[in-house]
Structure 1
Amino acid sequence: MIRYSLVEDKNQREIVLLKASPCIWSRCSFCDYIHDNSEDTAANVRLNKEVLENITGKYRSLEVINSGSCFELPKDTLTDVKEAIFSKGIEKLFLESHWIYRNRLNEMREFFEVPIIFKCGIETFDDNFRNNVLNKGAIFSGPEEVSKYFNSICLMVGIKGQTKDMIKKDIEYLLKYFQYGCINMYVENTTPLKRDAELIQWFRENYSFLEHNDNIEILWNNTDFGVGGE
């Protein structure tokens, strides 16, 4: 498992993949990423400390991800991240959070004392597909409500059952309401959900131009940020 890398294209930053306690939701039908967690807090802290030692401050920007939300990272790890931020001169932090934690984001802002870009895995704004197929556990009225909490969202493209109209609407909302966005092509894993290769090809033909947008990142493979593994 690769846990440290550099994102050297857009929004240049260092990125670390840390270990945390189990995801508070843990029921998304498309996700086996949650297997990268542990209830052994002491072991998580030790591993995370080793990963964080790689941070150099090269781009003055850092992204911290884990198999869930930043709120599930050990408190000692959060302290270690904060120490790295100040010792390496980090000026911008990217964190991920499930919708469930939307009312607690200021806790992280106050703790880290640097500007934070909060990312939320919305996957799609189609409520039925998001909650009844993907079982995302994120219920909201629309993009306006989401944008009140998060300035960056993650979308998923290419799951069987998803439609072109869903994706068109998702991209429209992303560009209209959010400062940043990450669009992930679905890669089959140990879950039953299947990849729709034709839909992904259609997206590539019609939306590859988004790669020229400084605020939009497209992950054609789920390891394109340089962290993760099989």
Structure 2
Amino acid sequence: MSDTNQLIRYSIITEKNPREIVLLRGNGCKWRRCRFCDYHLDFNLNSQLNYQLNAQVLKKVTGQFQQLEVINSGSFSDLDTDTMKLIKDICVQKHIKYLYFECHWMDRHHILPLKEKLKTSGISLQIKGGVETFDKEYRETVFCKGIDTDRPQELAKYYDQVCLLFGITGQTQNSMENDLKTGLKYFNRVCVNLMTENSTAIKPDKQVLSIFMDTIYPKYSENPKVEILLNNTDFGVGGKNE
């Protein structure tokens, strides 16, 4: 990911779970070891510049669905204090009831305090976690996610929703099916991302992608609790402005 100032940072999602979504910029993912991800390149260590950018993006939020999803290249705790305050203020002003944030496992201790804080303002915080797969050995040897538990019950103490990553060598129909079934059993919603070409060493496996599209996609494409991103910009953010 490069020229991140030119990225599309606001969009509206109208299917399944209608909401507004913004791609904000923070001081960067602190993990930075996921072998499939170059998303962390969208960062700036200057909190003032980040706030200026984020404030311009957040101006577009209308509150029309009473739901707002905020993503950035890391955890919500990597956003500056002024941006966090502005997000809360906008939720109150626009009567947004549900706020979605992402959080890496290493930052999970920030989740419950923020949930309690926002609850006093009538905002329900929903946390998405990039688990990618519930197979711990595969997750840590191939993806290098930095999640030290193999128990979905433990993950569910912090995450309301999970993101899964499919389409990589070594995954099978059974492994992908099991991941989806586990995600739906323990979490409110599941977001499936299909691996797309980027600057990392991990590449999409066309055969695995074909298995997913032929055998799994038809079963889950209409499930209201499963969102499937065939491309990583399908939510409308992250692509470049023309």
- Structure 1 and Structure 2 fold alike (TM over 0.5): yes
TM-score by length of 1: 0.96
Aligned equivalent of 1:6:
12
Equivalent position SS for 1:93: strand
Aligned equivalent of 2:91:
85
Unaligned ranges ≥5, structure 1:
none
Counterpart amino acid of 2:224? D
Distance 1:108 1:24 in 2: 19
Equivalent position SS for 1:200: helix
Provide Cα deviations, 1:74-119, integer angstroms capped at 9, x if missing partner.
0100001011101111011111001112232122213333111110
Aligned equivalent of 1:128:
137
Deviation at 1:168, TM superposition (A): 2.2
CA RMSD of aligned residues (A): 1.2
Aligned equivalent of 1:184:
193
Deviation at 1:68, TM superposition (A): 0.6
Distance 2:180 2:112 in 1: 27
Provide Cα deviations, 1:54-90, integer angstroms capped at 9, x if missing partner.
0001101000000011111001000010111011110
Aligned equivalent of 1:159:
168
Aligned equivalent of 1:210:
220
Instruction: Indicate which of 41, 57, 62 corresponds to 1:51.
Output: 57
Provide Cα deviations, 1:105-151, integer angstroms capped at 9, x if missing partner.
12221333311111000001111211111111011132121112212
Distance 2:93 2:85 in 1: 12
Counterpart amino acid of 2:172? T
Are 2:20 and 2:65, in contact at CA under 8 Å, matched by a contact in 1?
Answer: yes
1:82-121 aligned at under 5 Å gives the runs 82-113=88-119, 114-121=123-130
Larger CA deviation: 151-160 vs 138-147: 138-147
Deviation at 1:175, TM superposition (A): 1.9
Counterpart amino acid of 1:81? I
Counterpart amino acid of 1:229? G
Distance 1:39 1:120 in 2: 24
TM-score by length of 2: 0.92
- The yes-or-no answer on 1:219 pairing with 2:219 is no
Distance 1:159 1:188 in 2: 11
Counterpart amino acid of 1:79? K
Q: How many residues align structurally?
A: 230
Distance 1:162 1:177 in 2: 21
Deviation at 1:197, TM superposition (A): 1.5
Provide Cα deviations, 1:136-185, integer angstroms capped at 9, x if missing partner.
10111321211122120000000123233321221121121111110000
Equivalent position SS for 2:63: coil
Deviation at 1:225, TM superposition (A): 0.3
Unaligned ranges ≥5, structure 2:
1-6
Distance 1:112 1:211 in 2: 33
Equivalent position SS for 1:44: helix
Larger CA deviation: 8-17 vs 209-218: 209-218
Distance 2:93 2:184 in 1: 35
Distance 1:163 1:138 in 2: 21
- The yes-or-no answer on 1:36 pairing with 2:66 is no
Larger CA deviation: 67-76 vs 199-208: 199-208
Larger CA deviation: 106-115 vs 68-77: 106-115
Are 2:173 and 2:216, in contact at CA under 8 Å, matched by a contact in 1?
Answer: no
Equivalent position SS for 1:225: coil
Are 2:34 and 2:143, in contact at CA under 8 Å, matched by a contact in 1?
Answer: yes
